[in-house]
Amino acid sequence: MKNWKSMILTAAVFAGCGVKAPEPYGALPTPAQVEWQKMEFNMFVHFGPNTFTNVEWGDGTESVDVFAPTALDCRQWAAIAKEAGMKGIIITGKHHDGFCIWPNPESTHTVAQSKWRDGKGDIFKELSEACREYGLKFGVYISPWDQNDPHYGTPEYNEVFRRTIEHAHTNYGEVFEQWFDGACGEGPNGKQQVYDWDLFNGEVYRHHPNAMIFTDVGPGCRWIGNESGIAGETCWSTLNIKGFGPGRQAPPKKSLNGGDMNGEAWVTGEADVSIRPGWFWRESENDDVKSLDHLLYIWYNSVGHNSLLLLNVPPDTRGLINESDQARLKEFRQALDEIFSTDYADGAAIEASHVRGRGYEAANLLDDDYDSYWTAEDDVRQATLTLSFNEPRTFNRVQLQEYIPLGQRVCGFNIEALDADGNWKRIGESTTIGYKKIVLTDMVTTTGLRINITDALAVPVLNGLSLYKDEIYKGYVYAGTNSDALWYKLDVPLEWSADEKTLVKGFIYSPDHEDNCITRYRLEASVDGQTWTEVFANKRFDNIVNNPIPQEVIFKKPIEAKALRLIPIETREDDGYASREFAAVL
């Protein structure tokens, strides 16, 4: 870290013609973390047995032969990611069921034991080669939870998992990110594992010292606290990590979503979200791909809130990205290109109320050099940047960037535009900036703009100011349930009934939101509405807390029933009310 600071200071002093650069402030990113955040947009790929079994979380008892893509083409994935403007792909090499989509010698639950390609398939190999061909970076997701491995829940498992990481990181070239899920459930012996995170992280760094490691506490980047792709309006890249860990030991969701001001470590947020309701492909969701407005909403609240966007695009049972997902990604890319192709700040005159000296002028905000920046004297905490235009400019997006190699500093600012009468009118305000902040305003036509920095932890250091016009985004309001949802107390069974008994294929349960929902349940059926037969004794809604979407549960074979009764066993909260739907699938 000292060498990195010295490099920054030496370069800045030289560029400033003898004017000393500002001292770095607080926790700092490594060069690898800076380059990672510049990627902005990557693809997540959830692919495995769950793709073929129509569940979110498998239980490790699935036959290896369930995994049988008929037309796998990783080059198709890479081509689509490239066209969408993504810079890297992260693939689920092993989910909680334990099945490995590469021939992991530490497991007997892999593609090597399956009939698919006579046991010679290796998706890590095919995808890493496709990424290199298309100029993309290759990353892996490997869940430490394993519901198949007999060692899970014993001290031996940590070494098994270390070797699993070793095999994933030694045969496929550079790995830019290791995604660790903090999930820690029961294994086949009914026991839970105590993970050795120092051992796991050390193994990653042994092979790829510059890899980003994702967990709730980094050390490379952190979960943003939801699976909706939404970072906080206030979003610090710094986080307090002492006393916390991945999974159940994670920091509060408020800290995950917004970071901690003056946090002890640089652990930037990564906003993960699926383009579909679920993480794995389902045919029933082909018409439920997120709308263009929804994706733009996510962009503004992830990349535009100092985070990196990781968008999941799951292949189907062919092993191809579905046509509906392809079409929406193409539409999304075209919209982003149209919105951000013209910078209406270009050619503007710019002044600053304070300038540190030669080499740190406000004009540096408008050039294309990431490493040139404006800053002021050390004691400055408030400053104004004023843009003047020769003729009126029209825009509704204001983008600001801090020079994060020197730390994150700004914690309050507002934006003003000059109206037709020559008065300054406030059009926006916010708190943090970080790597990038995009402020959405009403459409403004003006000959002048002011950025007023109202509060900062140290002298502000900004390296980017741009103005854009978005005539595509119409506004998206995230809603948990529709207006027809019923209200139930969580300890009261939910019932569905019909006029007469019929064949029922399954049911759908829609939670209100993550803070108040059923996580485990018992299901009973009745043919007369009087006597009840147990269908499930103790079943889990997979990942419902982090991804509170409608849960569709399909029975192995249809049952005859006049009524169904869903009885909560475990809930997110002990009491309270939640708006939910419960319906049969006929």
pLDDT (mean) for 130-145:
98
The answer to whether 36 and 177 have CB atoms below 8 angstroms apart is yes
Per-residue DSSP letter, 228: B
Question: What are the tokens at 460?
Answer: 């502000």
The dihedral formed by the CA atoms of 228, 229, 234 and 236, expressed in degrees to the nearest 10: 130
Q: Which residue has the higher pLDDT, 528 or 470?
A: 470
What tens digit of pLDDT does each residue of 97-122 get? 999 999 999 999 999 999 999 999 99
pLDDT tens per residue, range 514-560: 567 888 899 999 998 889 999 998 888 888 877 777 787 888 889 99
pLDDT value of position 167:
98
How many angstroms separate the Cα of 95 from the Cα of each of 57, 78, 168, 392? 8, 21, 14, 54
The more confidently predicted of residues 368 and 508 is 368
Please tell me which residue, 566 or 464, carries the higher pLDDT value: 464
Query: Could you give the CA distance from residue 383 to residue 380 in angstroms, rounded to a whole number?
Result: 7
Bond from prior residue into 219 cis (ω within 30 degrees of 0)? yes
Residues in the chain, how many? 586
Residue 481 has pLDDT above 60, yes or no: no
Q: Which residue has tokens 């990181």?
A: 169
Structure tokens at 157: 């498992």
- C-alpha 271/C-alpha 266 separation (Å) is 16
Looking at residue 142, its pLDDT comes to 98
276-280's contacts with Cβ under 8 Å and 24+ in sequence apart are 276/312, 276/314, 276/325, 277/549, 277/550, 278/56, 278/314, 278/547, 278/549, 279/46, 279/56, 279/312, 279/314, 279/543, 279/547, 280/46, 280/47, 280/48, 280/50, 280/51, 280/55, 280/56, 280/314
pLDDT at 513: 59
User: What is the number of helices (H) and of strands (E) in the chain?
Assistant: 10, 23
Encoding tokens for residue 463?
Answer: 């390296």
Distance CA 60, CA 187 (A): 9
What letter represents residue 283's amino acid?
E
Report the pLDDT value the prediction gives residue 491, as an integer from 0 to 100. 56
DSSP 403-417: -GGG---EEEEEEEE
HSE-CB at 521 with a 13 A cutoff on CA atoms is 26
**Residue 477: its pLDDT value, please?**
58
385-399 average pLDDT score: 98
Output phi, psi for 241, to 5 deg: -115, -15
Please tell me which residue, 124 or 188, carries the higher pLDDT value.
124
223 near 255, Cβ under 8 Å?
A: no
Q: Are 356 and 461 in contact (CB under 8 A)?
A: no
Report the alpha-carbon distance of residue 89 to residue 310 in Å, rounded.
9
> Quick one: DSSP state of residue 252?
P
Contact indicator for 90, 46 with CB cutoff of 8 Å: no
Paired residues of 199 in beta bridges: none
Please give the pLDDT value at position 514. Answer: 57
SS (H, E, C) 414-434: EEEEECCCCCEEEEEEECCCC
The Cα-based distances of 463 to 138, 360, 435 in angstroms read 29, 10, 9
* Cβ atoms of 144 and 138 closer than 8 Å: no
Structure tokens at 559: 């049952």
pTM of the model: 0.86
Residue 452 has pLDDT above 90, yes or no: yes
pLDDT in tens, 238-268: 999 999 999 989 999 999 999 999 999 999 9
So what's the pLDDT on residue 485?
30
The type of residue at 270 is E
Q: What is the pLDDT of residue 486?
A: 32
Q: What is the pLDDT of residues 346-391, one digit of tens each?
A: 999 999 999 999 999 999 999 999 999 999 999 999 999 999 999 9
The overall average pLDDT reported for the chain is 91
List residues bridging with 452 in a β-sheet: 384, 414
Q: Which amino acid is at 10?
A: T
Considering only CA atoms, which of 437, 386, 383, 381 is closest in space to residue 409? 381
- Position 375, amino acid: T
What's the whole-number mean pLDDT along residues 319-345? 98
154 burial type by CB count under 10 A (0-12 exposed, 13-18 middle, 19+ buried): middle
Helical segments of 217-342, H only = 253-258, 292-301, 323-340
Angle of helix 292-301 versus helix 323-340 axis, rounded to 10: 60
Q: Residue 67: which of 104, 139, 121, 107 has the closest Cα?
A: 121
Strand ranges (DSSP E) for 434-576? Answer: 437-456, 461-468, 486-489, 494-510, 518-526, 533-540, 551-571
Helical axes 74-83 vs 323-340, angle rounded to 10°: 20
Residue 449 has pLDDT above 80, yes or no: yes
Q: Going edge to edge, which strands form the sheet with 577-585?
A: 486-489, 577-585, 494-510, 551-571, 518-526, 533-540
Q: Select the more confidently predicted residue: 482 or 62.
A: 62
Cα separation, 362 vs 355, in Å, equals 7
Does 569 have pLDDT greater than 70? yes
State the DSSP H helix or E strand holding residue 270, giving kind and residue range, or none if neither: strand 268-274
pLDDT average, residue stretch 137-164: 97
CB 555 within 8 A of CB 535: yes
Packing angle of the helix pair 197-207, 155-168 (nearest 10 deg): 20
Q: Read off the pLDDT of residues 303-330 as tens digits, 9 standing for 90 and up.
A: 999 999 999 999 999 999 999 999 999 9
Q: What pLDDT does residue 3 have?
A: 47
- Does the pLDDT value for residue 11 go beyond 80? no
The C-alpha atoms of residue 308 and residue 311 are separated, in whole angstroms, by 10
Is pLDDT of 93 > 50? yes
Helix (H) or strand (E) holding 77: helix 74-83
By mean pLDDT, which of 152-166, 413-427, 555-569 is the weakest? 555-569
| Distance, C-alpha 319 to centroid of its chain | 23
174 versus 542: which is more confidently predicted? 174
- What is the predicted pLDDT for the residue at 188? 87
Which pair of tokens denotes residue 554? 């399909």
pLDDT of res. 538: 87
Residue 460 is which amino acid?
Answer: P
